[in-house]
């Protein structure tokens, strides 16, 4: 093993105050000496933008002086809305802010247009103290947890042997650059038009001997506008305000474009600032808008190809999406029909989001996951690989995950990299400099090293996807779990694993655990994390550390079982009995995707195969079956539970086993202890990659429905419509997760028959004979399970109550003596089916003399009103002080008690004006009480 070179230290860019998201890094990368010949490139722009003169206008990024923190108020429709305001702009990242109520997630979250707040529907009576908001796993409304310097040690394994090829090297073509700007277009829900701008880098036309494939880049979510005169100010709104100009995020992949163009590819990187500035209210995070933008550009390239402007082979188009751009290009890959004048041959996703947990069937996909990602810190892009398992009949497309140790989120784009970008930028890692991913550690990749890894793996994927028909897949070992590296990535450590690609896949959920022996324990676990269920794979585990599995809440997110084995002595064994025999006769190896439990340390395993005749063999396992935990501490979201590939060679099993009928796969503990999770088992073909069928799944759009509550009590349902973009090719299935402000209901399974295009999902509700409040809205989200894709999975079911709302009566004494309490009684004319929330506040009396804070007992005012050090002479009104109450189940009365203070001063009768509100109903009542001297 080569000695890992020392790293030079460097300082990250300036961070925002309490809300800044810096990036984490963690993995050995290429030596600086090895990359000295590849300096930081200066982005080339052929269009110039006039530098606006200062106009003296107010900074559009500055918001009004609004109180910060949480507040809960009625929403005007009978429900309640929790609002959180920040003193600083919420960082513009690809991750979405997440809100929890008493530790449970609530959704959907709506961002404020000024970027300084958010809101979410909550049950009436919610205590703001029970609410919390996080971004990229870090709290926004409280202090971040102190990161621990403790590390689990170096990354598992080194960079591996050197491959005999290197797609990261420059090709022989000279390159030319240009930029285009075309008329924008309107998109539903976005007030401003979306721009049509692209940065083009292509081989010199006189050197091309044939039409070349197209590679299209789409950047992610970043600030949209900046001011060269005020470099610390980012602008809101779209188009950019006077004095501001678009952040040139599309130029950030110029270094990648140049490398690909030198290898014979036409490349374009498109701008998406119009989406970034307007997607804060989009329920899908802007994925549909980004997919529409991609398709608009591809349509334009098809027109240019037809006119002869470019010699471009659009049947071998590759999409590259970074961050939210990854989710956008994946949706475009699903939506582009096979009849289009271009075909998506594959896609590369860099640190992508996957809010919808979807993936493009029949489209080869490489997902690059930066281990030290401080933006999409939960590595949710892993779902682009995992969700493909069993999704579509006959799908042979390779789905590969590339885990880059030491890489952060931003440095793949030079316009998001400090020292290289025009607009301000930052390192998104948020941990301590000396922690596992810290900037002061040898494990962290430098900016140049990360770009070198990105260049090699993007170019390698593009070459794999666009190879000529019948050509050997030269770069396949970079993506299929083979341990190794190419020269241009230096000593950077990269772990890969894959599914698809013609592999015969076995999922643990289709097996039965065998009887453990030798001190082993084994079971199947459900692929959920974050809860307390004993059957979950990651009970009490932070969901941000376990990208393969779904959080337990909301209920019903699609996931798959894993096989878990633990042992306390060498030689222990346990395994899986297959429901159907596995044919490995045409395979070169068996690959297991295995997750190591950090609590048990490094594990070594052997693998034993048994055929239908009962014969067994224990083939050679590469790297001695080493499965090491990934480094870092759980406090900052590291020690990720990400699978590593364990490869079992079948070379010496011929004649020993009947490889056409393997019935059992068992693990043998070779270390003295360990605990591992097996996600799946697959036979890997000896002949490389098979052809991918020219198919696309129909995509589903879920609708919404509104009904009036049924007249009779009992269980009823709302029929929410859905439709497919094309007839279902085979029997399929999707699941619908339901959630309302009161909590999540059971997931709803929907079966789709072959040929079906429309249908409905029945969302249950319970009718009663009492008034149950404002319309009940249940938010719905659909997730693909089998033979369908998802175009728009967001919907809703709304039930309007059919009973009359009771009348409200408020009574209070006309006067009380000092020292006696003011008793306020609120009465309903009839019981209701829930607990309406009431408030009692103080209004300004219409005439003097008026009571003040000093007329209430000091201790009571401090405890119940939170007045703190407010002076006794302060008026009772105008401060927002209030008390809360509710009607108990079946009760028709609620009471408030306001004590008064007794003194010896003769003040005469003072007035207290009480303001009683039932916010959900929009009703209020004022009562004035005279406070008389004793």
Pick from 155-164, 426-435, 503-512, 598-607: least confident:
155-164
Higher pLDDT, 742 or 550: 550
Q: If pLDDT is split at 50, 70 and 90, which confidence band does 540 have? A: confident
**Using an 8 Å Cβ cutoff, are 2 and 34 in contact?**
no
What is the predicted pLDDT for the residue at 75? Answer: 66
Cβ count within 10 A of residue 539: 16
Q: CA–CA separation, 30 vs 395, rounded Å?
A: 36
Could you confirm whether domain 1-152+176-502 is CATH 3.40.920.10? Answer: no
CA 925 → CA 500, 771, 852, 888, 922, distances in Å? 66, 21, 21, 20, 11
Residue 255 in tokens: 């270094």
- Residue 150: its pLDDT value, please? 31
Tell me, what's the pLDDT at 102? 64
**What's this model's pTM, rounded to 2 decimal places?**
0.84
Q: How far apart are CA 688 and CA 710, in angstroms?
A: 60
Q: What pLDDT score does 63 carry?
A: 36
**Banded model confidence at residue 90, pLDDT cuts 50, 70, 90:** confident
pLDDT of 32 reads 26
Instruction: Tell me the per-residue pLDDT of 789-838, one tens digit each, with 9 for 90 and over.
Output: 999 999 999 999 999 999 999 999 999 999 999 999 999 999 998 888 89
Q: Is-contact 664 615, C-beta < 8 A?
A: no
pLDDT attached to residue 77: 60
Label residue 11 by pLDDT band (50, 70, 90).
very low
Residue 91 contacts residue 20 (beta carbons within 8 Å):
yes
Fold equal for 504-685 and 699-800 = no
Segment 671-688, tens digit of pLDDT: 999 999 999 999 999 988
pLDDT tens by residue, 130-163: 788 878 666 777 654 444 333 333 344 478 899 9
pLDDT over 90 (residue 68): no
Q: Where are the domains of the chain?
A: 1-152+176-502, 504-685, 699-800, 808-932
Burial (CB < 10 A; 0-12, 13-18, 19+), residue 753, is exposed
pLDDT-derived band at 884 (thresholds 50, 70, 90) equals very high
Q: Which of 24-28, 170-174, 344-348 comes out lowest in average pLDDT?
A: 24-28
> Minimum mean pLDDT among 66-75, 561-570, 584-593, 768-777: which range?
66-75
| Band of residue 448 on the pLDDT scale cut at 50, 70, 90 | very high
pLDDT score, position 37: 29
Who's near 48: CB < 8 A, 6+ residues apart?
A: none
Q: What is the pLDDT of residue 198?
A: 98
| For residues 53-82, average pLDDT | 56
Is residue 323 pLDDT above 50, yes or no? yes
The string of DSSP letters for 664-710 reads: EEEEEE-SSSEEEEEEEEEEEETT-PPPPPS----EEEE-EEEEEPP
Q: What CATH number has the domain spanning 699-800?
A: 2.60.40.2030
Give the range among 142-146, 461-465, 537-541 with minimum mean pLDDT. Answer: 142-146
Structural tokens at position 683: 């036979």
Q: Which residue has the higher pLDDT, 312 or 111?
A: 312
Mean pLDDT taken over the chain: 87
Residue 413 has pLDDT above 60, yes or no: yes
Residue 146: what pLDDT? 43
% of the chain exceeding 70 in pLDDT:
89
Cα–Cα distance, 429 to 165 (Å, whole number): 32
Tokens in use for 851?
């009571």
Q: Given this model, what pLDDT does residue 116 score? A: 78
Nearest CA to 156 out of 890, 686, 537, 646 is that of 646
- What percentage of the chain exceeds 90 in pLDDT? 69
Choose the weakest-confidence range: 275-279, 512-516, 532-536, 679-683.
532-536
Distance CA 691, CA 693 (A): 6
> Using 50, 70 and 90 to split pLDDT, how confident is the model at 258?
very high
The CATH architecture annotation of domain 504-685 reads Sandwich (2.60)
Please give the average per-residue pLDDT across 514-542, as a whole number: 92
pLDDT of residue 136: 65
Mean pLDDT of 190-217: 96
By C-alpha distance, which of 96, 117, 143 is closest to 544?
96
Coil, strand or helix: which one is 529? strand
Closest CA to 911 of 865, 849, 853, 860: 849
pLDDT of amino acid 104: 67
Which strand (E) or helix (H) includes residue 769? none
Taking every pair of Cα atoms in the chain, the longest distance, rounded to a whole number of angstroms, is 108
Q: E strands, 331-395, where? A: 344-350, 365-370
pLDDT at 767 over 70: yes
Q: pLDDT value at position 158? A: 74
Query: Cα–Cα distance between 583 and 580 in angstroms, integer?
Result: 10
Query: What class is the 808-932 domain?
Result: mainly beta
DSSP code string of 148-203:
P-----SPSS-S-SBPS--TTS--S--EEEEEEEEEEEEETTEEEEEEEEEEEEEE
pLDDT band at 78, cuts 50/70/90? low
pLDDT at 594 over 70: yes
Q: With bands split at pLDDT 50, 70 and 90, how would you rate the model's confidence at 110?
A: confident
**DSSP character for 789?**
E
* Residue 545 pLDDT class (50, 70, 90 cuts): very high
Measured torsion, CA atoms of residues 847, 853, 855, 860, in degrees rounded to the nearest 10: 140
* pLDDT > 80? residue 514: yes
């Amino acid at each position: 093993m080569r000695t890992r070179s020392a790293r030079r230290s460097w300082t990250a860019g300036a961070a925002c105050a309490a809300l800044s998201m810096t990036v984490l890094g963690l993995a050995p990368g290429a030596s600086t000496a090895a990359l000295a010949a590849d300096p930081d490139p200066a982005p080339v722009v052929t269009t110039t933008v006039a530098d606006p003169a200062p106009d003296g206008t107010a900074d559009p990024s500055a918001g009004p002086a609004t109180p910060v923190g949480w507040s809960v108020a009625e929403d005007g429709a009978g429900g309640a809305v929790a609002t959180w305001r920040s003193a600083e702009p919420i960082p513009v990242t690809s991750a979405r802010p997440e809100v929890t109520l008493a530790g449970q997630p609530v959704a959907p979250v709506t961002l404020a247009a000024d970027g300084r707040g958010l809101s979410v529907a909550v049950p009436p009576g919610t205590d703001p103290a029970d609410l919390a908001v996080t971004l990229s796993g870090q709290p926004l409304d409280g202090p971040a947890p102190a990161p621990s310097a403790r590390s689990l040690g170096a990354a598992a394994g080194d960079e591996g042997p050197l491959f005999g090829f290197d797609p990261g090297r420059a090709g022989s073509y000279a390159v030319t650059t240009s930029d285009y700007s075309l008329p924008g277009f309107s998109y539903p829900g976005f007030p401003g038009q979306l721009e049509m701008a692209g940065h083009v880098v292509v081989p010199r036309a006189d050197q091309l001997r044939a039409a070349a494939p197209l590679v299209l880049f789409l950047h992610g979510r970043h600030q949209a506008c900046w001011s060269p005169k005020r470099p610390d100010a980012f602008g809101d709104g779209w188009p950019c305000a006077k004095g501001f100009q678009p952040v040139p995020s599309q130029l950030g992949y110029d270094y990648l474009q140049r490398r690909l163009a030198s290898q014979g590819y036409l490349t374009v990187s498109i701008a998406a600032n119009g989406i970034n500035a307007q997607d804060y209210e989009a329920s899908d995070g802007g994925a549909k808008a980004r997919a529409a933008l991609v398709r608009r550009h591809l349509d334009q390239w098809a027109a240019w190809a037809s006119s002869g402007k470019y010699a471009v082979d659009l049947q071998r188009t590759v999409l590259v999406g970074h961050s939210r751009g990854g989710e956008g290009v994946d949706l475009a890959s699903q939506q582009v029909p096979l009849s289009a004048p271009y075909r998506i041959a594959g896609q590369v996703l860099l640190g992508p989001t996957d809010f919808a947990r979807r993936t493009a069937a029949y489209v080869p996909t490489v997902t690059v996951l930066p281990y030290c990602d401080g933006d999409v810190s939960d590595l949710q892009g892993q779902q682009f690989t995992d969700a493909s398992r069993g999704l579509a009949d006959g799908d042979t497309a390779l789905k590969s995950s590339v885990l880059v140790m030491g890489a952060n989120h931003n440095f793949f784009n030079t316009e998001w990299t400090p020292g290289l970008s025009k607009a301000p930028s930052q390192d998104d890692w948020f941990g301590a400099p000396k922690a596992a991913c810290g900037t002061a550690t040898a494990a962290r990749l430098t900016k140049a090293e990360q770009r070198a890894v990105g260049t090699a793996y993007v170019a390698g994927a593009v070459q794999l996807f666009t190879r000529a028909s019948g050509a050997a897949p030269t770069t396949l070992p970079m993506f299929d779990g083979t341990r190794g590296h190419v020269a241009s990535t230096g000593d950077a450590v990269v772990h890969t694993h894959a599914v698809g690609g013609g592999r015969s896949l076995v999922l643990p959920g289709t097996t039965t655990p065998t009887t453990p022996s030798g001190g082993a324990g084994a079971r199947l676990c459900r692929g959920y994390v974050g809860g307390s269920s004993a059957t979950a794979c990651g009970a009490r585990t932070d969901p941000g550390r376990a990208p393969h599995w779904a959080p337990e809440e909301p209920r019903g997110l699609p996931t798959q079982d894993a096989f878990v084995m633990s042992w306390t002595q060498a030689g222990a064994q346990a395994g899986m009995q297959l429901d159907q025999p596995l044919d490995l006769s045409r395979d070169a190896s068996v690959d297991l995707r295995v997750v190591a439990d950090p609590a048990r340390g490094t594990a070594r395993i052997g693998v034993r195969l048994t055929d239908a005749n009962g014969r067994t063999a224990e083939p050679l396992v590469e790297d001695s079956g080493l499965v090491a935990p990934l480094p870092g501490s759980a406090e900052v979201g590291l020690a990720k539970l990400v699978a590593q590939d364990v490869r079992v060679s079948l070379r010496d099993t011929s004649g020993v086993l009947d490889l056409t009928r393997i019935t059992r796969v068992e693990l043998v503990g070779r270390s003295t202890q360990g605990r591992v999770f097996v996600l799946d088992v697959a036979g890997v073909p000896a002949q490389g990659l098979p052809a991918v069928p020219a198919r696309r799944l129909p995509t589903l759009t879920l609708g919404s429905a509104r009904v009036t509550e049924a007249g009779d009590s009992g269980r009823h349902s709302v029929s929410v419509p859905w439709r497919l973009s094309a007839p279902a090719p085979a029997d399929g299935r999707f699941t619908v997760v339901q959630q309302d402000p009161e909590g999540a209901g059971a997931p709803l399974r929907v079966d789709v028959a072959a040929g079906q295009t429309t249908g409905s999902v029945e969302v249950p509700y319970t009718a009663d004979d009492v008034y149950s409040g404002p319309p009940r809205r249940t938010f719905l989200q659909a997730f693909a399970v089998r033979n369908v894709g998802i175009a728009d999975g967001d919907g809703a079911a709304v039930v309007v109550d059919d009973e009359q709302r009771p009348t409200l009566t408020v009574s209070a004494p006309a006067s009380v003596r000092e020292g006696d309490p003011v008793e306020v009684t609120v009465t309903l004319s009839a019981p209701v089916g829930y607990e309406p929330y009431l408030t009692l506040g103080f209004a300004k009396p219409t005439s003097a003399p008026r009571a003040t804070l000093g007329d209430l007992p000091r201790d009571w005012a401090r405890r119940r009103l939170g007045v703190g050090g407010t002076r006794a002479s302060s008026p009772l009104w105008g401060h927002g002080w209030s008390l809360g109450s509710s009607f108990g189940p079946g009760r028709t009365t609620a009471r408030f008690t306001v004590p008064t203070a007794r003194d010896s001063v003769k003040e005469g009768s003072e007035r207290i004006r009480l303001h009683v509100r039932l916010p959900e109903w929009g009703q209020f009542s004022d009562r004035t009480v005279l406070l008389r001297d004793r």
